[in-house]
Every structure is written in C-alpha cells, then in structure tokens.
Chain A
C-alpha cells in the first residue's frame, strides 16, 4: 500500500486519522473473518534509505513522493480474488494512494 502524504497540509488530522484507522481495521477484519488474513506489517514514516556507493538518505520518501504504508498478506485462490479484496481497501479512498497486489513466490524462514 502506497500512501501519498508528502506535504504537511495533506496529512490527516487526528480525528480523520481515527476514522481512517477504523475503516482500515474493518477492512482487515473482514478479510480475517473469511479466514484469509495471513499477516500484516505497518511501516513507520521515518527510516533510512541505503544506496549504491555508501549513500544514505533520511526517510524512505526523500526522493520519491510515495511512501509505502505497509504490507498485508492474505490467502486468496487466485490473483483475481486478491484484486477483488484489495479493491475494498479504504486507503484507495484517498487521491494518489495505490494498492499493489503481488503474489508471494518464496518466503524466507517461513516455508
């Protein structure tokens, strides 16, 4: 899930944030209620980006407008079903936000 929140003005108020979070939890809860939720990872907005030649920059979105808000792993019978579930993601109600659906090919440490 990519979240477009580069400018201060575009950042939601705490009240809005609460509504967003509730919608998000309802969406994830709906997936979990179908026993299709595997796991999820939310990412902090702060971080470091390492690049070729020992270049290190602050923040994952120092040079790109987008930041990755998090990952969620679900169980779906095919890509089509996964896309159908992703379409319901409330993050898509925000302009500029995207949800990318990918199939897991291999898993590290978790066969």
Chain B
C-alpha cells in the first residue's frame, strides 16, 4: 500500500485506539491533549514516510511515536512544574518514565469504556453521534460533515460543545456498574443503531462512506458482544439485525448511488455470509426474558432475507410488527405493518387498516395506499400516488412514484 492510501487507512483504524487509551490516561478533562497527540502522531507519519519510506510495522511505529510524544508532553509538564515550584523535592529530578499501554487488551478496554463515556445520557443524542463518529470510529471532520450534509464548521462547533459537556458533567471513562449496565447499554445501543441507520438510509451520495458507517456500527456492537459484561441478549439482537440488513448492501444501491427497491434487487448479490452470521447472533439473542425492539426488528429483518413470498414469511413479519408497534411506535413501522397485513389478509383489509392511520403528511402513506389500491381500484390508486408525488421531497422518491404511476397507466388493472 502507498503511504497516500495507507495513512488515511491507519488513521481510521488507529486514531481512535490511541485517543481512547490516552483519554483514559489523562481523563476526559484533558481530551484535547489526547486528540492533539494522536493527530500529531499522524502528522509526523505523513511528513516522515514519504521521505524515509513506510516503516516495516506501520502500526507499531505509530504507537511508539504516540508513546514518545506523550512522554515528551508529560516531561515538559514536569519540568515546568519543578521550575516554578522549587518546593517539590520528591521527583524533581526524576524523568517521566511511565509507559503508555497500547497493548491490544488495554486498547480494547479503553475503547469499550470510551463508548459508555461518549454515550452518556447527560449528552444530547446529536452530540453523542458526533463524538462517536470522531472518537469511536475515527472519522475525519470532512467525512462527518458529508454524512450529515452539513459544513465542517457546524461539525466542529457541535463536537466542541459536546466535549465541553463531557467535562462539565465530569464523566469518567469506565464501564458502568453491573446494576446500571442494562440502562446504560440501552443508550449505547441506540447510538449504534442510529449510526447504522445513518449509513443505511443516509441522503449522502457517498456510497463508500455510507457502507463504512454501517460497518463501524457493526464493529462497535461486535466489541460489546465480545465482552462478557456487555454481551447481553439485546446486543446480540442488534448485531443480528445489522447483519441481516447489511447483507443487502451491495444489492440495494446501484453504481450511481441510487436506491434499488427490495422487489427489484438481485438476490444473488445478497451476502449469504452476513445472513448466516445474523442467524448466529439472533440465536444468541434468544436467551433471558427481555424482548427488546431489536429482537423484533431482527425477526423482521430475518424474514426479509427470505426473498420468496410465503404465507409464513408475511404472518411472521406481521406478528413482529404488531409487537414492535406496542413497544416502539413509529410511522414507518405502522406503514410497514399495514403492508404486511395486506399480504396476509388481502388488499381490502390492508386498505381499511391503512385508512385508519391518517398519516396524511407522509408521502409513504399515500404511496402505500396507491400500492394497495392498485388492481383493486385504479382511480383511487392514481389519486393516492398523485398525492404522494406532491408530498415527496427527494428526487429519488419522486422518480419511484412516477414509475409507479406510469405502470398504473400502462397496466390499469
């Protein structure tokens, strides 16, 4: 690998590790120092490698440089302290010898603990996402701005405020005690879920970035599954859910970054390995007596990996949506549930149920009604699709609805 591609790659995988370990060493009060040292390490690599060539073990090189920089920083602090305060007798002449521990075990522990610190309930969701992307996933400011379709300044401001909040709340980098674990874990899971959805449903056209977001969410969740104290059923359920969804990643977006509808996807492009991994984690999720929304969504996602339209598939999906809506209502789940109901009990039943939803400011609502009325009542289908078209905001959504209208026109039954 060339240094031009290797450094960004290593930045993504190693920056977060160095920052987590250093933050744990310094405490969140001084997280800027941790970030500065980590950034400075990569700057040194970017300056040295093109001249001297890539070191044989680039990661070990980075760790050593980070350790030296930390040592120098602490040494300077110590000199400063002894010069201004001559009363310090004990270690006034000692050099700073404490090693920064970048062993795999400590890197892993630090990252896990950092996850809980960043997803602390005292911090706003928006700030948690920003910090997660930067500190836990090692995304560049530009990438974060791209993912949220906003400016670098906005992201910088958001991150600055989030870090101030972490300091204000005096949050420690540590795993929560067992008694508080489930509650704190819930906050971490909801951020992982949001990160994944951000990648999966993002408006950003950057396909690589979107996939990276999903993979990062899965990586964070995997870390939780691998740790004994955080390996809970809901964590496995969320990982299963993400595996099932991610299995369609290559089939659902074309080379122009456009969305391909489920029915039109090439099922050969679905990733069988991820589907079976999903099955493995779903099985592990089936213990204890907690039924989280991730369990239910993973159940739905599992059936969506079965392309064939069977009665069993739709009955199961309907059942899971019925349960899901009882614990976590959302308009999109209500619409999907109605679609499943129509698949099980027929279009008439679906139309009747849809009309009770009254989600009249949602273009998906009218698109669903259009779909259900097709081949039942052509005129009504057309009227609903037209309403959907009027409400749709993105070009991709409008194009999808226009295609449905054209199909209706050429095939009125």
Contact = CB atoms under 8 A, between A and B. Distances in A.
Interface residues of B, number: 19
Interface of A is mostly: helix
B325 A29 contact: yes
Contacts of B251: none
Contact of A34 (B323, B341, B357): B357
A40 B326 contact: yes
B319 A33 contact: no
Nearest to A32: B325
Contacts of B194: none
Interface in A12-33: 22, 25-26, 28-30, 32-33
Contacts of B322: 25-26, 28-29, 32
A33 B323 contact: no
Contact of B356 (A22, A25, A34, A37): A34
B337 interface: yes
Nearest to A30: B353
Interface residues of A, number: 12
B7 to A, nearest CB: 50
B334 interface: yes
B329 A35 contact: yes
Contacts of A35: 329, 334
Contacts of A30: 341, 353, 356
Given A22-B319, A37-B326, A40-B326, A29 B356 contact: no
Given A26-B341, A28-B322, A40-B326, A33 B334 contact: yes
Contact of A28 (B326, B345, B353, B357): B326
Contacts of B318: 26, 29
A29 B329 contact: no
Contacts of B353: 30, 33
B397 interface: no
Interface of A: 22, 25-26, 28-30, 32-35, 37, 40
15 contacts: A22-B319, A25-B319, A25-B323, A26-B318, A26-B322, A26-B341, A29-B341, A32-B326, A32-B334, A33-B321, A33-B329, A33-B337, A33-B356, A34-B334, A35-B334
Given A32-B329, A33-B333, A34-B356, 11 more contacts: A28-B322, A29-B323, A29-B341, A30-B356, A32-B334, A33-B353, A33-B356, A33-B357, A35-B329, A35-B334, A37-B329
Interface of B: 315, 318-319, 321-323, 325-326, 329, 333-334, 337-338, 341, 345, 353, 356-358
